[in-house]
Structure 1
Amino acid sequence: MGLKSALSRPLAAYVVHRDQQWQCDPVGTQTRLLTKLTATAAGTAFGRAHDLGGVRTPADLARQVPVRDYEALKPWFDRTQAGEADVLWPGQPLYLAKTSGTTSGTKYIPITKESIPNHINGAKDALLHYIHGTGRSQFLDGKLIFLSGSPELERHHGIRTGRLSGIANHHVPAYLRRNQLPSYATNIIEDWETKLERIVDETLGQQMTLISGIPPWVQMYFDRLTARTGRPIKHLFPDFNLFVYGGVNFEPYRAKLFESIGRPVDSIELFPASEGFLAFQDEPGNPGLLLLLNSGIFFEFVPAERFFEPDAPRLTIADVELDQQYAVILTSNAGLWAYSLGDTVRFVSLRPHRVVVTGRIKHFLSAFGEHVIGEEVEQALREVMAQSLEVEVIEFTVAPLVSDDPATPSRHEWLVEFARPPQDAAAFAAALDAALRRRNSYYDDLRKGNILVPLQLTPLPAGAFQRYMKSLGRLGGQNKVPRLGNDRKVAEGLTSAG
């Protein structure tokens, strides 16, 4: 056992004990945090406009500050980006995290001196919880790779600006830098395919022990390694034993990824966002992610089915219930105030508070009133794949096929890129349709009433999703394909790119 591996164990025990303390008083922890946040920002432009100095309780916050998404808060973010101080939080932010928006184009999310520890410590503490729970720390003695965006930063009115993963790269602890791959010169390459080839060059022959990244892009890395060598990952990296991921549900990728590796490895799921690091998998084998209630973020939750209502309730962790869908609202020391993150979660534990990420509040399919969410289509696919063991899926998305012709009724279209297709595509599609009906009563009612007919399964050629993302300039890094949409934009892009 190396020095880093040995020293990590007492540190892991300390961090787990510390986290257990605030878990004993979750409501008090969040209430005290809200008071601190509003008192700190009371003198800012936003604080004066919303009387944050008068906010003492979550009810006060709900009364004074409406829920807004990035587009609604954009005038305040624009002032911050232009270099104005004391807008949303005292002073200027340390960084602006650049991320892709929907209607507003590129988004610039502030990261402050107070909020940067949230991003850095979240990932670090996830690893320490894993070490404490398993006793396995040897991965710290080998090479670690983080497939991420470029760490090269620009400046906007004196504020350093770049992708969150690139910003975080500047805060990797010094004791891990010697273990970290790829090199800085490779990491700043913007073209993903060129960068990937250089990463393969640098990692072949190394003692890789931890690999981290969004699953589809890690799969691309594995595919390149195997194409170059003709060997599975287990032979290339025999000491690789920990996969860290976030950003998408791992389950649709699990079978293909583990087949590429050639054996199971441990995994840790994270819930990071440019707006904050929200949760991590604190217990090996437990799919729930521990919500970080003491890390600078005050959480509110809006029942997903009521999110678009003007009087939708805003619940705190004192009010949430198990197995309900909630949209996540953040107030934080990054200067975010009742900010709609866009993600939906479901609580699987209240002692402590653990969630699973279920989708995006704007990424649902309700062209016919069915309101199908990402978790439902992912679960349906996972169930059918478990019954069709020959099938491997690389990527998929679901779109509506709306028809005005009674001879060709409306339906859902599943566009799927298979690594190994089903032997009986019609039976596979029928099983998918039945699995979705069991999970969504509205879809089932539409099917019973023949308003919708059985779904259409459209296999896509190899590389279709990669070509589509490349056509958008979003290949690699932290970019993801939406699982669901209420229009045909993604579907048409995929079929034309394929």
Structure 2
Amino acid sequence: MSLKAFAARIFAASVHRRNRRWIQHPIQAQRKLFQHIIRQGASTQFGRDHQFDTIRNPEDFARQVPVRDYEDLKPYVNQILEGQANVLWPGRPLYLAKTSGTTSGAKYIPITDVSIKAQVGASRDAILNYIHRTGRSSFVDGKMIFLQGSPELQEKNGMKIGRLSGISAHYVPGYLQRNRLPSWETNCMEDWEAKVDKIVAETLPENMTVIAGIPSWVQMYFEKIQDQTGKAVGEVFPNLELFIYGGVNFEPYRARFESLLGRKVASIELFPASEGFFAYQDQDQEPGMLLLTDAGIFYEFIEADKFYDENPRRLTLEQVQMGVNYAMIISTDAGLWAYNLGDTIAFTSLKPYRVIVTGRIKHFISAFGEHVIAKEVETALQEGLKAVAADVNEFTVAPVISPKDGELPFHEWLIEFESVPQKLEEMARVIDRSMQAQNSYYADLLEGNILQPLKITCIAPGGFRNFMKLQGKLGGQHKVQRLSNDRKVAEGLAPYRISP
């Protein structure tokens, strides 16, 4: 064992002991954090606008600070962009993380010195947790690749602006810099396809041990490795041990990944965003990621099916239940207050608190009152793929409200297969049965002849990639929208439809 690998084990044990305090006492950690951020926020414009000096508890906070999404927060962010200080948090942010907006164009999420340290620390702790619980640390001697956005940052009024992954690239600890790929010059490339080609060239001769990124884009990298070498990725990189991912459910991609790799590798799921780092996978036995209750984020939760009620109840951590779909609301040490993250989660454990991401509060299908969410779709797809031994590259689901020839409406599943299965109709039946078993609303609509069973549309190889490229969202942190209540994504994929 190398000195670096031995030191990693010692460090991992130390961090585990430190983290055990808030893991064992999450409610106390949240209460302490709440009081801290309210005190800090009281001197800001937002704090004065919402009378933070009178807030004593989360109940006061819920009464005085309404839930906001980015559109509601935008007037404050615009003041920050103009260079004003003490708007959402004391002083000015170190960074503004630029993300893709939906109705407002680009979004600018404030990141402070304390919040970026929490983000970087959580990423580190996820890997250290893996080392501590498995005893495996030799991978720290190999090369690690992180498929991410450009680390080049713009500057405005003393604040640096860029993608979160690019900002984080500036915080890679010195002892890992020599292990990190791709090179700085390659990481700065904006053309994603050219960037991946360059990454392949840089990594092929190296001892790769860790690969991190969004599954769909890592899959693109794996495919290029296999095309160039004619070998399984696991053979090209015999010491590849760990895949780190976040942003989407890995399970629909797992079979294809293992086919490309030629073997299984360990994985760690993360739950990061520009707004904060919320959870990481801390064990393998059961689903769920450990919710970080001492990382500068105060959590509130609203039952997803009541989110659009006039005055939905906001729950704190001690009030949540397992198995309920919640919209997650956050207040942070970067100055986000009662902010609707947009993600929905469910708790898989309350001791400790572990969560799974179930979808997006705005990404669902309920054209007929069926309330279909991403978790249901992903679970059903896994069952369908298993039934016919198929692999999927990408997929999305949308309603067909007014079919031709007087047919009943249905859900269209647009799927890009690695190889179109022969038993496509059988796969559709398995998926439909799973959807009915998971979602009683959907089952009732079928039984009542409001909907007909779902239909699968095959998308040509590379179709989703071409679609994302035309949208200017190829690579990096961009993800295909899983569910739509309209036909925008489905219509964008129309040129790539094929007959099975």
TM-score for the superposition, normalised by structure 1:
0.98
Q: Which residue of 2 aligns with 1:420?
A: 419
Runs of 4+ in structure 1 deviating by more than 6 angstroms, as ranges, are none
CA drift at 1:404: 6.8
CA drift at 1:286: 3.3
Amino acid at match of 2:429: A
User: Does the CA-based 8 Å contact 2:387-2:430 persist in structure 1?
Assistant: no
Cα-to-partner distance string for 1:295-327 (whole Å, 9 max, x where unaligned) = 100000000000111210100111000000000
Cα-to-partner distance string for 1:138-166 (whole Å, 9 max, x where unaligned) = 11000000000000001122210000000
Mean Cα deviation higher: 6-15 or 374-383? 6-15
Q: Which residue of 1 aligns with 2:216?
A: 216
Q: Which residues of 2 match residues 58-457 of structure 1 at below 5 A?
A: 58-389=58-389, 391-403=390-402, 407-457=406-456
Q: Tell me how large the CA RMSD over aligned residues is.
A: 1.0
Query: In 1, Cα distance between the equivalents of 2:405 and 2:48?
Result: 58
Query: In 2, Cα distance between the equivalents of 1:405 and 1:229?
Result: 47
Query: In 2, Cα distance between the equivalents of 1:127 and 1:250?
Result: 18
Q: Which residue of 2 aligns with 1:489?
A: 488
User: Does the CA-based 8 Å contact 2:460-2:496 persist in structure 1?
Assistant: no
Q: Which residue of 1 aligns with 2:461?
A: 462
Query: In 2, Cα distance between the equivalents of 1:405 and 1:470?
Result: 30
- Secondary structure at 1:337's aligned position in 2? coil
- Secondary structure at 2:171's aligned position in 1? coil
CA drift at 1:387: 2.0
Q: Which residue of 2 aligns with 1:480?
A: 479
Cα-to-partner distance string for 1:72-109 (whole Å, 9 max, x where unaligned) = 11101111122111000000100000000111111000
- Secondary structure at 2:165's aligned position in 1? helix
Query: In 2, Cα distance between the equivalents of 1:408 and 1:156?
Result: 55
Query: In 1, Cα distance between the equivalents of 2:331 and 2:9?
Result: 33
TM-score for the superposition, normalised by structure 2:
0.98
Query: In 1, Cα distance between the equivalents of 2:8 and 2:54?
Result: 44
Cα-to-partner distance string for 1:376-406 (whole Å, 9 max, x where unaligned) = 00000111222222x1111100000011767
- In structure 2, runs of 5+ residues without a counterpart are none
Amino acid at match of 1:227: D
Amino acid at match of 1:417: E
Query: In 2, Cα distance between the equivalents of 1:385 and 1:463?
Result: 19
Query: In 2, Cα distance between the equivalents of 1:466 and 1:405?
Result: 29
Query: In 1, Cα distance between the equivalents of 2:17 and 2:260?
Result: 37
Query: In 2, Cα distance between the equivalents of 1:26 and 1:427?
Result: 46
CA drift at 1:287: 2.2
User: Does the CA-based 8 Å contact 1:35-1:55 persist in structure 2?
Assistant: no
Amino acid at match of 2:172: V
Query: In 2, Cα distance between the equivalents of 1:230 and 1:26?
Result: 49
User: Does the CA-based 8 Å contact 2:346-2:358 persist in structure 1?
Assistant: yes
User: Does the CA-based 8 Å contact 2:384-2:428 persist in structure 1?
Assistant: no
Mean Cα deviation higher: 183-192 or 70-79? 70-79
Amino acid at match of 1:351: K
Amino acid at match of 1:143: K
Query: In 2, Cα distance between the equivalents of 1:24 and 1:244?
Result: 25
Amino acid at match of 1:380: A
User: Does the CA-based 8 Å contact 2:126-2:268 persist in structure 1?
Assistant: yes
CA drift at 1:2: 1.7
CA drift at 1:22: 1.2
- Secondary structure at 2:86's aligned position in 1? coil
CA drift at 1:120: 0.2
- Secondary structure at 1:151's aligned position in 2? coil
Amino acid at match of 2:397: V
Q: Which residues of 2 match residues 15-54 of structure 1 at below 5 A?
A: 15-54=15-54
Query: In 2, Cα distance between the equivalents of 1:74 and 1:213?
Result: 29
- Secondary structure at 1:53's aligned position in 2? helix
Query: In 2, Cα distance between the equivalents of 1:413 and 1:385?
Result: 16
- How many residues are aligned here? 497
CA drift at 1:185: 0.3
Query: In 2, Cα distance between the equivalents of 1:223 and 1:156?
Result: 39
Amino acid at match of 1:175: Y
Amino acid at match of 1:306: K
Amino acid at match of 1:232: A
Query: In 2, Cα distance between the equivalents of 1:130 and 1:284?
Result: 10
User: Does the CA-based 8 Å contact 2:41-2:90 persist in structure 1?
Assistant: yes
- Between the two proteins, what is the percent identity of the paired residues? 54
CA drift at 1:420: 2.1
CA drift at 1:14: 1.4
User: Does the CA-based 8 Å contact 1:131-1:137 persist in structure 2?
Assistant: yes
Query: In 2, Cα distance between the equivalents of 1:15 and 1:105?
Result: 40
Mean Cα deviation higher: 98-107 or 404-413? 404-413
